[in-house]
Chain A
Amino acid sequence: MSISKDMKTEYQKQLHLAIQAGSADKGIELARNALDKGLVPVEFFEEIIQPVLEDLGDRFSRLEAFLPELMRGGMVVKAVQEKVLEPIIHEQSDEMASRGKIIIGTCQGDIHDIGKNMVALMLQVNGFSVVDLGTSVSSRDFIEAAKRENADIIAMSTLITPSMPFMKDVIARLDSLGLRDRFKIITGGAPVTREWANEIGADGFGEDAVEAVEACRQLMGV
């Protein structure tokens, strides 16, 4: 770590204020400043963005912060990501090869995407290439995209129980196509449990975005 603990705390505080103000510009300025001081993009994400988002998430689950604030946090972080971190990561991509390619989406019948977007973002900043298929993705589309993109992992999420059977369906279809061994499968989302993931034969499970990244790292051995 190239900066002091105090500086880190200060950056976290400033990012929190930028999110409160809903100011993408402030977030961008802050990130540029931190990188000038010697932080690398992954550090900025793990040491500054991640703790701030986790704190926001914790306060959301305690009913102290609300969805619009999460959305605003996502907006500011996305701007920082796109305007500051990604260009640098792309520049360095020769040195830092992708840790793996991941197809991600919300299962058929479900149009919720807040959690899925957060997971996609976390995977990206952690060095994975991510192809986001969006919401209500059919089993067929998951498989077609995985084949087309030559993906390593298919990541499926849902917030609602009626869409859970589609996770099983994707695995069954891969089986019948003889493709099951070609892709790793991870699942997540509010009603999805580790037991369910095991039962349907998924390779990994994430309770939240941090766990999802960890599961993908393990599956890719990185």
Chain B
Amino acid sequence: METRLRSPSGKEVVISGDMPTVMIGERINPSGGRRKKLTEALANGNMEPIRQEAARQAAAGASIIDVNVQAASVRDEAATLVQAIHAVAEEVDLPISIDTSDWDVLEIALKACPGRPLVNSVNGTEEAMNRVLPLIAEHQAVVISLPIDDEGIQQDPKRRLAVAEKILRRAESFDIPPEDIIMDGLTMTVGADMKAAVATIETINLIRENLDLNMTLGVSNVSFGLPLRETINTGFLYMAIAAGVRCPIVDPIKMRKVVLTADLLTGRDPFADRFTSYYREIRESGEL
């Protein structure tokens, strides 16, 4: 299963089990008001921090840049998102992940986005599938799919698999091939439910075995409400990559070494070339 995205200049990024893990950089996202500087800049149409975050993430090994501008203070999401997409495309030549929950905004952003982008995300609700999948087909984009449907989030991995299958079938009916669907294993908070992480990994196993789709995962939600979050996130990311997640959504600055280690240990770094290059890079830059 090979998923192919294209950068603004047409360079391909391939997501596949045989290739290195692809990091989707999550840092361009003002969610939760945590990134105050970014939120303020977006509200004022100042794209400088966006460019900086794009460059930093590319330098840290991100292969796809997620762009989310949703915040209460951003008045015109569509215009701001298009502006941010152009800023990122000018700064780094990497495929873009268009991240919005507003389908009208998505439609506008898809028209404006260069290359072959990723869309973050659709889910298995009738409303979302009927609105988003035709756009994916029209623009020949790739879409992240959350196995959530009109009944909400299923705890049982088998039910999540059933929803994932439903999305896949629906996509087929729009002539969207399976390689253009990236399934999300759904990370839930382990502090609220001790079995949450196990259920996610089991979902990933079931999707890998039954549907053979490429998969993504946002890991940081797993550690909400607990101390030493980065330690937990790191452990979970190892588990996820080992189970078959190919393009996790991460902060590449924090997670680069984890991903490189996971690739080394899962046999996808011949002669440990990438791992040792990373070591040389941080030794020379004085990070070590």
CB <8 Å contact, A191 and B33: yes
A146 lies within 8 A of chain B by Cβ: no
Residues in B with CB closer than 8 Å to A160 are: 31-32
The answer on a CB contact under 8 Å between A71 and B191 is yes
Give the distance in Å from the alpha carbon of A165 to the alpha carbon of B71 in the complex.
Answer: 10
Q: Which residues of A contact B102 (CB under 8 A)?
A: 165
Complex: how many Å from CA A138 to CA B125?
11
Interface of B is mostly: loop
User: Across the interface, do B192 and A71 meet the contact criterion of CB distance under 8 Å?
Assistant: yes
Q: What residues on B are CB-neighbors of A164 within 8 Å?
A: 70, 72
B174 / chain A contacts, CB cutoff of 8 Å: none
A50 within 8 A of B: no
What's the least CB distance linking B77 to chain A, in Å?
Answer: 9
Encoded as 1 (CB less than 8 Å from any B CB) or 0, chain A from 57 to 84 comes to: 0001001001110110000000000000
Per the 8 Å Cβ criterion, residues 147-168 of B in contact with A are: 148, 152-153
A193 within 8 Å of B by Cβ? Answer: yes
* B224-255, CB < 8 A from A: 224-227
> B30 in the interface, Cβ–Cβ < 8 Å?
yes
In chain B, what residue has the closest Cβ to A140? B127
Number of inter-chain CB pairs below 8 Å? 62
Chain B: minimal CB distance from A117 (Å): 10
CB-CB nearest in chain B for A163: B101
Contacts of A138 in B (CB 8 A): 127
Say whether B72 contacts A70, CB under 8 Å. Answer: no
Q: Give the one of B30, B100, B188, B224 with max A CB within 10 A.
A: B224
A127 at the binding interface (Cβ < 8 Å): no
Which residues of A have CB within 8 Å of B224?
67
Residues on B with C-beta less than 8 A from A134 are: 152
CB of B52 within 8 A of chain A?
no
Tell me whether B226 and A66 are in contact (CB under 8 A).
yes
Instruction: Tell me if B46 is interfacial: C-beta within 8 Å of chain A.
Output: no
Interface contact A161-B189, CB-CB below 8 Å: no
Contact digits for B23-50, partner A, Cβ 8 Å, 1 yes 0 no: 0000000111100000000000000000
Within 8 A of B (CB), among A71-126: 71, 109, 111, 114
B153 touches A111 (CB 8 A): yes
The docked-state distance in angstroms from the alpha carbon of A192 to that of B225 is 19
State the interface size on chain A (CB cutoff 8 A).
26
Partner of B31, one of A66, A70, A136, A161: A161
Say how far B236's CB is from chain A's closest CB, in angstroms: 15
CA distance A173 to B210 in the complex (A): 41
The smallest beta-carbon distance between B253 and chain A, in angstroms, is 22
- Cβ-defined contact, A66 with B225, below 8 A: yes
Residue of A nearest to B153 (CB): A111
What CA separation (Å) do A113 and B191 show in the bound complex?
A: 13
Given A66-B226, A67-B191, also A136-B148 (CB < 8 A) = yes
Q: With an 8 A cutoff between CB atoms, is A162 at the interface? A: yes
A67 close to B226 (CB less than 8 A): yes
Q: Are B153 and A161 in contact (CB under 8 A)?
A: no
* Chain B contacts with A in 78-105, Cβ cutoff 8 A: 100-102
Tell me which residues from 174 to 208 in chain B have a Cβ below 8 Å from any Cβ of chain A.
188-189, 191-192, 194
Closest to A111 in B: B153
Inter-subunit contact A136/B152 (CB<8 Å): yes
Which residues of A are found within 8 Å of B188, using beta-carbon distances? 111
Among residues of A, the one whose C-beta sits closest to the C-beta of B31 is: A161
Query: Is there a chain B Cβ closer than 8 Å to A190's Cβ?
Result: yes
A-B residue pairs in contact (CB < 8 Å), sample of 9 = A66-B227, A68-B226, A71-B191, A134-B152, A138-B127, A160-B32, A162-B68, A165-B101, A165-B102
Closest 9 CB pairs of A and B: A67-B225, A67-B191, A162-B101, A111-B153, A196-B72, A161-B70, A162-B70, A161-B31, A68-B191
Given contacts A162-B100, A162-B101, 20 further A-B contacts (CB under 8 A): A63-B227, A67-B192, A67-B224, A68-B192, A68-B225, A68-B226, A114-B192, A134-B152, A135-B152, A135-B153, A136-B153, A138-B127, A160-B32, A161-B30, A161-B31, A161-B71, A162-B70, A165-B101, A190-B33, A191-B32
Measuring CB to CB, which residues of chain A are less than 8 angstroms from any residue of chain B? 60, 63, 66-68, 70-71, 109, 111, 114, 134-136, 138, 159-165, 190-193, 196
